Structure 1
C-alpha cells in the first residue's frame, strides 16, 4: 500500500486506532471529575442549576464512556496480532500493568457506573454522590496504570533481560519509572483542560445562538475559570517534563527543537519555525531566538545539549514530524492561556457573556485541547523511535510477521469502520450538546421505577429523541 513496509503499516494502524481511542478517555476523565464537582455543589448549595447541568453532561458522559470502552478493546487485541514479538518480550511487565487497570479501575467504574447513571431516584443523594466520586476516581486510576505501562516503555527500569525475555525484578521501580510522574501529571491535566475547553465551547456556542439561560452561563463561567487556572499549570508541568526528557531521551529533545549541533562556546537558539531536513542534517528556513533554547532547557544562556547529529542515524527519530507536532501542542497551549486571561479580563469588566468576538474564539477553541493532546502524544511516541522499549528493544524487532497486503487490508477496514461507528457516535454526542441544558424542564432524571424499562447499559442514559424532526409527522 503506497510503497509502505509491513512495519510502517503496523505503526500507522496502531497510531490510527490509538488516536481515536485517546480522545474518549481524555473526555471521560475530565467529565467524570466535572460531574463530581457539579453534584457536590448541588448537594451543598441546593441550586438546581448544578443539578440540571449534571443531568445534561451525564448523558454526554455515557455516550463518550461507551465509545472509549469499545475503541480500547481493539487496541488491546493489536498487541497480540500486530506486535506479538513485543508481547512475548515485554509481556511480563505490560501484561500485569494492564491487568491491574482492569482489576482496580475498570471494575470500580463498572461497579458504580450504573448507580451513577440510573440511580438518581433509586438511591439516596449521599450514595449517588459516592458513586459519582468512585467513577471519577476510577478514571484517574485507569490513567495511572496505562501511563505507568507506557512510561516504562519510555524510561524502562526495574527489570532484567533473561533468555531474551524481560523479567521484572522491582515492581516499584517498574511503575514509578523516571518519566512516570511527569507524564501522569501532564496527561491528567491535559484531560481536564481539554474537557474545560469542550464545555466552554458548548456554552459559548449556545450564547452566540441566543440560548442564554442560567445553566449555559454557569457551565461557561466554570469552564473559563478552569482554563484560566489549569493552562499555566500545564505549561509549568510541560517544562518539568521537558527537562526530564532531556535527561533520559536527549535524542527526542533534539528532534523537538530541530537542534543538530552546538557551536563552540555559544548557547543553543530557540527555533520558532523551520523545516528539519533529515538527510542534510540541518533545519532549513528557520526563525530563531538566540540562546533562548539553552535558557529554557539548561536554565543558562551558555548551556548546551546534544544535537541530533551526535546520535547515529539509525537511532534518530523523525525530526520533521516531531518538530511540528511539538509546536502545534505548544502553540495551542499559548492560545489556551490567552483565552483564560481574556476571560478574566472580561469577568473583571462584568462582561463575560456578551462579546461576540470572545465567544467565537471560545467556540473555535473547543477542539484545541484534544488536538494539542494528540500532538503531544505524537511527539512522545514518534520521538521515542526507533525504540519500542527505549534503548532495549527496537520497533522493528517487535512487529509480527504479517505481509504488507494483510496490514493494508486491515488498515483500510479499520479506517472505514472507525469513521462509520465512531463518526456516528461523535455526531450523536454533538447533537446532545447542541440540545443544550435547561431546555427539557425535567425536575430530575427520568429513571422512575414504574416507567418502561430499557437495558441498563451506558448508552441507555442518553435520550432517544434528541432530534425534534424525528418526532414530527405521522
Structure 2
C-alpha cells in the first residue's frame, strides 16, 4: 500500500473512532437539559436522580471524546502537510473558534455540572447544563463548517501558485455559511440527538426488563422516546434537504450515492443493490425514476450521471459509497418506525408489556452510531478524488517527507491504543449502568413522584 492509501486509512480510522463520542455528548446534553428542566419545574426528586446519573455518563463520554480527538490535529501536520498549508487560513480559524467559543464553554461549565450539586442553586446548575449543551452544539458548528467548506468552498481566494498556493479568507461569513454548511450541520445535530436519545432508551429498556429502578427508568424512557420520535421524523426532511443540496453542489457525489452513470437516463432510487463500477451497472430493488422525482418532482427528468465527468474527477469506490449511503437511509427509516411504533404503544399503555420490543430498544443504541458513521463515510468518499472539492486533489495534499512504513507503524499503534480506550470506555460505562442511579431522595419522594407521573399507581 502506498502513502496516500495508508494516510487515508489512518485518518479514517482515527476520526471514525473519535466520532463515536461527540454525537453521544451532544444528544445526551440535550436530554440533560430536559431532565434537569423537569426537576426545576416540578421539584420531582426522580428527575434530580435521573440528571445526576446521566451527568456521570456524560462526563465519561466527554473525557474519552477529548482524548481521541486530539490526535487528529497532529495528523494534519504529519501526514497532510500540503493540505494544512493550503487550507490553514480557513481550517485554522474554524478550529480556533471551536476551541475558544465551544470547547472552553463546554468544559468550563462541565465542572459546575459535575461538582456543583449542593454548591450552587438549582437555577445556576440548570444554567450550567444548558451551557454545556450549547458548547457541544457550537463545537459541532465549527467542525462541520470547516468540513463543509472542503465540500463547497466559498468566501476565499487563492494566493500563490503551485506548491506555494493556499486559500485565504476574503469573506468570513461567506466561508461560514458556505452552500452546504447549514444543511449538513442540521443533519449532524439531529443525528447526534438520536444517538443520545437511543442511548437513554437502551439503558432504561434494560432496567425495565430487569425490573430495576422502575420509578426512574420509565419517565426517562418516555422523555427519550418522545425526543427520538420527533428527531427521527425531522431527520427525514433534513436528510432530503441535504441530498437536494448535494445534487446542486456535488452532482458527481449524488450519482455515486445512487450508482447512476447515464446522464440521459432518469434517476432510479434504490432501496438496496450492488454497483459494478467496471460494467457501470447497478442492480437491486429500485423505484424507477424515484431519484428524479425527489430532485426535480418529475419521474422522467434525467439525472447527471458519472459518465458526464472525466474519469479522474469522479469517485472510484462507487459501490462502497452506494452501500454506506443506503445503510444510513435504511437505519434512518428503521429509527422512524421503531420510535413511532414505541410511542403509539406507550400512549396505549402497552409498551412495557412487550418484552421483545424492549430488547430491540436495548440493542437499538447501535443503530444511530452505525448511521452516523455510514453517512460520514459516504460524504467523504463521495468527495474524492478531491480533498477540497474542485481545488485540491487528495493525492496532492500529502506530506512529502512521510513514508509508508512510518504511516503503517503509527496506524498499528493507534489501533492498539484506541482498542484499549474502547475497552476502558465499555468497562466503565457498563460499571456505571450496572450500579444504576444513586438514591438522593427519600423513598416517599420517589414513590410520590411515580404516582404523579402514573396515576394508575395511586390506586
Task: Report the TM-score when normalising by structure 1.
Answer: 0.90
Determine if the alignment matches structure 1 residue 157 to structure 2 residue 154. yes
Please state which structure has a larger fraction of its residues in helix.
Answer: 2
Paired residues of 2:263 and 2:308 also in contact (CA < 8 A): no
Greater shift, 180-189 or 23-32, is seen at: 23-32
After TM superposition, list the pairs within 5 Å mapping 1:136-285 onto structure 2.
136-163=133-160, 164-211=165-212, 213-263=214-264, 267-283=266-282, 285=283
Instruction: Report the count of equivalent residues.
Output: 436
1:173 Cα deviation after fit: 0.7
1:212 Cα deviation after fit: 5.3
CA distance in 2, matches of 1:11, 1:124: 49
1:362 Cα deviation after fit: 1.2
After TM superposition, list the pairs within 5 Å mapping 1:44-443 onto structure 2.
44-163=41-160, 164-211=165-212, 213-263=214-264, 267-283=266-282, 285-317=283-315, 318-401=317-400, 402-437=402-437, 440-443=438-441
CA distance in 1, matches of 2:417, 2:205: 32
CA distance in 2, matches of 1:398, 1:430: 41
Paired residues of 2:169 and 2:175 also in contact (CA < 8 A): yes
1:262 Cα deviation after fit: 4.0
Paired residues of 1:298 and 1:304 also in contact (CA < 8 A): no
Q: Cα deviation per residue 1:422-448 (whole Å; 9 max; x = unaligned)?
A: 3212321132123333xx32349xxxx
C-alpha change, 1:51 and 1:99, in structure 2 (3 Å) is same
Greater shift, 421-430 or 249-258, is seen at: 421-430
Give 5+ residue unaligned stretches, structure 2. 443-459
Q: Cα deviation per residue 1:106-143 (whole Å; 9 max; x = unaligned)?
A: 11122211111101111111211111111111111111
Q: Cα deviation per residue 1:241-274 (whole Å; 9 max; x = unaligned)?
A: 00000000001110100111145xx632222222
1:158 Cα deviation after fit: 0.8
Paired residues of 1:228 and 1:344 also in contact (CA < 8 A): yes
Paired residues of 1:202 and 1:434 also in contact (CA < 8 A): no
Name the Cα RMSD after superposition: 1.4
CA distance in 2, matches of 1:11, 1:62: 31
CA distance in 2, matches of 1:347, 1:128: 31
Q: Cα deviation per residue 1:297-335 (whole Å; 9 max; x = unaligned)?
A: 222111121111221111121211110001110111111
Paired residues of 1:227 and 1:339 also in contact (CA < 8 A): no
Task: Report the TM-score when normalising by structure 2.
Answer: 0.93
